[in-house]
Structure 1
Amino acid sequence: MKPQVSTPEQIIYLVDDDEALRDSLAWLLESQGFKVAAFASAEDFLKAWRPEFNGCLLLDVRMPGMSGLELHERLRAQYSTLPIIFITGHGDVPTAVAALKKGAVDFIEKPFNDTELLRLVSQCLVTEQEHRARRRQDAEVSRRLDQLTQREREVLDLIIVGKLNKQIADVLGISIKTVEVHRARVMEKMAAQSLAELVQNVMAIEGVQRT
């Protein structure tokens, strides 16, 4: 199965001090249609890094100067969402496993299988693209929430916890007809096609689990 080619805005960022490995990896990835940006050190990558970077990062664990793990920590501190696949030697596997617990996506051990590497990269790009789309959707939901009036937000909060129109009317001291009007406006402003969609979107943006 041919690996999924990255979208135009996705780049495979490759950070490894081994020039021969860098060149061979870049060639392999580019031959499969991926766009690659290679760096000889973690410091060089960190200077170039921007929050808007999309794609994924192939990162060697051990390098002179700043290690791959140190770069991972620095990126986490700067709230980077760039997925990381660590490139490890045999002795670095426990270290890479520990990095997985801190948010790294996966690791691949030298000497690695080309097919496996391409599979990991392709999977990483798909996941990153999905997460980016989710972040865009969350930002749009947040923007729409800000457009609600105070009363509409009160009605929405009661809808989220499962209150019926009559119950909302009793809680807010307004008529059922007024609740229906506010509810319709909430649905329109939130661009929700169903109650389920409305609830799911708001719960996702607030990170609140309600039962």
Structure 2
Amino acid sequence: METPVVHIVDDDALARAALARLLDAAQIRTACHAGAEAFLQAYDPLLPGCLVVEADLPGTCGLRLQEHLLSAGSELPVIFVSRSGDVPVSVRALRNGAVDFLQKPYDPRRIMDSIRMVLDGVQSRYPERERQARLREKFAQLSPREREVLDHVLRGDVSKIIARDLNISVRTVDVHRARIKDKLRCPNSAALVRDAVLAFGLDILHPHDFPKT
């Protein structure tokens, strides 16, 4: 498993460095970013970790960064720090799922406790999330026609029914099914269903719910 990374996003260079030193002393891996844009360019959603972000960033503020991550489906835990301690912003951040909201100057023990709590949870969840991400990458390799065939396979349709619905021959359906199994490295239809559920959840078994990539 990859070592979790604490992303520190703060336009105050001294504040970034101080928190990085605190975490380095605790042997916690860090990555420092001067703003939201720099963080987004460097961020790899497949790597475990958490985000410590200044709420009052110039440009894209911390709250907007949090909401951007949420809209992208990110589960990255977020801890806010703030120069102003603005109450409406803190309420909105916490409603959006922030782990903590600390006004500067904060107690180093408090932020360390929050970060350690987050990283403990991240490390316990990461193997499952990593597997899901890898499976989704495999499904993304399928062609549009293969995704249509797979949608029918997940509903339990036999090749004859699939051929009729897609207006293609049974032989062509069987060719697509073989290619799907080869790309996904699944020996049979049961394995296809298992991996689809692991990648996308039980809703994938509903008709026409296969994600379009």
TM-score scaled to structure 1, two decimals?
0.61
Distance in 1 (CA, whole Å) between partners of 2:6 and 2:173 is 51
1:29 CA drift (Å): 1.8
The within-5 A match list for 1:177-192 is 183-192=177-186
C-alpha displacement of 1:119:
1.6
Task: Output the CA distance in 2 between the equivalents of 1:181 and 1:47.
Answer: 46
Size of the aligned set, in residue pairs, is 195
Q: CA RMSD in A?
A: 4.5
Q: Give the structure 2 partner of residue 7 of structure 1.
A: 2
Displacement of 1:124: 3.9
SS at 1:118 equivalent: helix
How far is 1:58 from its partner?
A: 0.7
**Structure 1 residues 27-36 or 198-207, which shifts more?**
198-207
Q: Structure 1 residue 86 and structure 2 residue 79: aligned?
A: yes
One of 50, 53, 59 as aligned partner of 2:41: 50
Distance in 2 between residues matched to 1:167 and 1:80, nearest whole Å:
35
Gaps of 5+ in 1: 1-5
Stretches of structure 2 that go unaligned for 5 or more consecutive residues are 208-213
Instruction: Specify the SS of the correspondent of 2:186.
Output: coil
Find the partner of 2:55 among 50, 56, 61: 61
Kept in 1: contact 2:53–2:80 (CA 8 A):
yes
Q: In structure 1, what is the equivalent of residue 156 of structure 2?
A: 162
> How far is the alpha carbon of 1:173 from its aligned partner?
8.0
- C-alpha distance 29-122 of structure 1, shift in aligned 2 (>3 A): farther
Contact map agreement 2:50 2:118 (CA 8 A) in 1: no
Which amino acid in the other structure matches residue 120 of structure 1? V
Q: Is the 8 A contact 2:10 2:54 kept in 1?
A: yes
Indicate how the Cα distance of structure 1 residues 129 and 12 shifts in structure 2: closer, same or farther if over 3 A, else same.
Answer: farther
- CA separation in 2, counterparts of 1:64 and 1:180? 56
What secondary structure, in the 3-state scheme, does the structure 2 residue paired with 1:50 have?
Answer: helix
Change (3 A) 1:17 1:188: closer
What residue in structure 1 maps to residue 191 of structure 2?
Answer: 197
The answer to whether the aligner puts 1:36 opposite 2:30 as a matched pair is: yes
Note if contact 1:61-1:86 (Cα within 8 Å) is conserved in structure 2: no
